[in-house]
Structure 1
């Protein structure tokens, strides 16, 4: 009984692995473009450093 459960579990994990390896053509390129756009939007337009969080950049904190 335990051998049957372990075998079914291993077959299930193998099937999940096969489906995980499948790729949609062009999906990676689209993801890379989206990542580049997101990184570009998180840069400060004044100093060019990456902004962390939603607040203002350190170069503009006291200069309202």
Structure 2
């Protein structure tokens, strides 16, 4: 995971993702559809200091 774009931009294992492209859902299917439709996404997550962070990444095919 250390060689991924998300990791290089600050997202680490065990951190909680709270939204994808500003969509908040408890339904994994919703997130699955967002990830399939979009190659560029914005993830919001809670970092190790309990701060909400945002990172833009491009998904690989």
Larger helix fraction of residues: 1
Q: Which has the larger radius of gyration?
A: 1
Higher strand share: 2
Structure of greater relative contact order (alpha carbons < 8 Å, 6+ residues apart): 2
